[in-house]
Structure 1
Amino acid sequence: MPTSGRRPRSGSRFGVSRWRERTARLVAAAKAAHRRAETRFPVVTHLAERMVSVNIFDTATRLAAQCFLTAVPLLFVFAAYAPPVVRDQLLRSMRSVFGLTGPVDTGVQQLMQPPNESLRQTTGVVGGLMVLISATAVSRAVQRLCQRAWAIPRGGIRVAPWRWVAWLALWIGALLLQGTLHNGFGLGVWLGIPVTLVCQTGLWWWTQHLLLGGRITWRPLLPGALLTAAALTALSGTARLYLPRTLDRTVAEYGSVGSVFVLLSWLIVVCLAATVSVSTGAVLAQEPFLATRLGSPPPGRDPEAQLP
């Protein structure tokens, strides 16, 4: 008589055990390959691990969003309260950095027109101060980037708020001077590129030291500053080739929403380059060859213990 339940075939059991054995062999082979890579290419493996711990795409996207949400209100504050010479300088810098032309340039000019009383009343002194205070969110985002790049545990840094404000003030001043730097003080791009590279190196060198609260000494921070400056200088050169045409086309097809999408996408690329460069610089500075020369703290150690 037929039975109600069927026993599993021995062949199926054999198939399951065979797949388990294959999976175990693949896992063992992957672990062995990882160990060989760590032995032969320690820099590559350390860099890959650091990129995963930094979570570069998430960090870059958050930083880009903070920059965009900060830039728009700051433009209104500049339009309402900045002196005419400062507004003109900011407009020249934006044209130089982004290569603004056509309707986008016209829109920015209208935004930066001399303010009327209604604009001042709408913005208000209190509103302007709130915008400046909320803009420190960018400072905090960059601080988290530097902290993750150097594998400093969460809560391991307590930075005084004045450092956030100081960082923001210096970068606003640097933005105002971008047009002058890109043009090489009026002498041409041939001088503007090395000047921009030197200035970017100094800014990112100082940024890491300031926002890390001095827990990492100056010399170990130099590789990250050089890499970040080189990446951002290269991107600033390509921005004038890519952004003007793309902005004009998207504004013509989709209106102002298209320009928001293009600018935010470009900011994500810029922030991703900065995130990767700072993290790579931290890994290189902690490799034995450079660590002994720069006095870098070993990976996974408390940097404060290495300070003199």
Structure 2
Amino acid sequence: MPPGDTGNGRGQPRGGPDEAGPEAGARRRTRSVLRASWWSGRAGALAAWAKAFHAGLETRFPVITRLVDRMLSVNIFDSATRLAAQCFLTAIPLIFVIAAYAPTAVRDQLVGSVSAVFGLSGASKAQLEQAFSPTSNELKQATGVVGGLMVLLSATAVSRAMQRLCKRAWQIPRAGTKIAPWRWVAWIGLWLGVLVMQEPLRKGFGLGAWLGVPLTLVTLTSLWWWTQHLLLGGLIGWRPLLPGAVITAIASTCLSLTAHFYMPRALNRALTEYGSAGSVFVLLSWLIVVCVAVAIGISVGAVLAQEPFLAHRLGTPTSSPGGAVRR
């Protein structure tokens, strides 16, 4: 066969002119991309790479990878949004109940405390005072004792949402871990009592913010410590719950200080431009931010308490009630 003859007698490469050169390679690649097998292979390769990358990170940075895994399992933003929505839906009926039945001194104290928490002034504070203003007997008759009790019972939806968050953070399964319902009511009652005392607490009982800020931090640490223990039904000991309480209290205190600079301006502007609907949006947005901080703080505390360095010092159990092994 003469040189250059590839078998077709015309000097063309075997297989025809359509299968030679860079254009043919491009066409073959295009046909491959259109096949489901090609995409399946690529997805498998990407999944294998992701697993190897995760394993490498877990070896080098075990705490960080466990934190990320816990955040994903808790579903931080979904849990926080649900919790914020429940808080908001609970707050409005409670305002009417308190306005109808609470003594004047309690109403005035609550107005001052809410104003102290958010730093309210101007139109937003005036609207709050109007909501808690003394009411006639018509509102009491419309609300009724039974209606007030139903509002308090429905408020336990917030307790249940917080309980689910704590269980997810500590990887406690739902099956076999029932919690007594009275804990939901007790949690709501204590938080209402603490809310009423926020004004004197933040002012350091008249001595100033230099005492008020540390007192607020200590109070919130105690509250979040007790919250986890109460809503988990004592399934986790006191000491392992302390890191989450401290982290959540620090985050809550920082957000509370930030609220004094943001909330008054935002609420007054929203009331001026959009009316009450604007204030609803601002309050709900701020509640979501606070609940995200709470969800992150409790989850991070749970992971840190299960790390070997702290686990044997805090007495953290190696497995959750129900058999879910903690890493």
**TM more than 0.5:** yes
Q: Does 1:63 align with 2:83?
A: yes
Query: Aligned equivalents of 2:137 and 2:188: distance in 1?
Result: 27
Q: Does 1:41 align with 2:61?
A: yes
Q: Alignment partner for residue 284 of structure 1, among 275, 296, 304?
A: 304
- Residues 28-68 of structure 1, C-alpha deviations (whole Å, 9 max, x = no match): 33222111111111111111111111111110000001100
Aligned twin of 1:128: 148
Report the CA distance between 1:157 and its aligned residue.
Answer: 2.1
Aligned twin of 1:4: none
- Comparing 124-133 with 154-163, which one deviates more in the overlay? 154-163
Report the CA distance between 1:303 and its aligned residue.
Answer: 7.0
User: 1:66-215 alignment to 2 at 5 Å?
Assistant: 66-215=86-235
- Residues 178-232 of structure 1, C-alpha deviations (whole Å, 9 max, x = no match): 1111111111111111100000000000000011000000000000000000000
Secondary structure of 1:213's counterpart equals coil
The 3 A distance-change label for structure 1 pair 70 and 21 is closer
The 3 A distance-change label for structure 1 pair 302 and 11 is same
| Max Rg structure | 2
Q: CA RMSD in A?
A: 2.1
Unaligned segments of structure 1, at least 5 residues: 1-8
Tell me, yes or no, if the aligned pair for 1:74 and 1:132 is still in contact at 8 Å.
yes
Report the CA distance between 1:156 and its aligned residue.
Answer: 3.6
Letter of the structure 2 residue corresponding to residue 94 of structure 1: V
Query: Aligned equivalents of 1:22 and 1:193: distance in 2?
Result: 55
Q: Alignment partner for residue 287 of structure 2, among 255, 267, 272?
A: 267
Aligned residues: 298
TM-score between the two structures when normalised by the length of structure 1: 0.91
Tell me, yes or no, if the aligned pair for 1:92 and 1:179 is still in contact at 8 Å.
yes
Report the CA distance between 1:26 and its aligned residue.
Answer: 3.7
- Comparing 257-266 with 181-190, which one deviates more in the overlay? 181-190
Secondary structure of 1:185's counterpart equals helix
Unaligned segments of structure 2, at least 5 residues: 1-26
Tell me, yes or no, if the aligned pair for 1:46 and 1:283 is still in contact at 8 Å.
yes
Query: Aligned equivalents of 1:107 and 1:60: distance in 2?
Result: 27
Letter of the structure 1 residue corresponding to residue 227 of structure 2: T
- Comparing 212-221 with 13-22, which one deviates more in the overlay? 13-22
Q: Alignment partner for residue 255 of structure 2, among 219, 223, 235?
A: 235
The 3 A distance-change label for structure 1 pair 301 and 113 is closer
Secondary structure of 1:33's counterpart equals helix
Higher normalized contact order (CA 8 Å, seq sep 6+, divided by chain length)? 1
Query: Aligned equivalents of 1:69 and 1:22: distance in 2?
Result: 47
Secondary structure of 2:206's counterpart equals coil
**Identical positions, percent:** 64
Secondary structure of 1:124's counterpart equals helix
Report the CA distance between 1:13 and its aligned residue.
Answer: 5.3
Aligned twin of 1:5: none
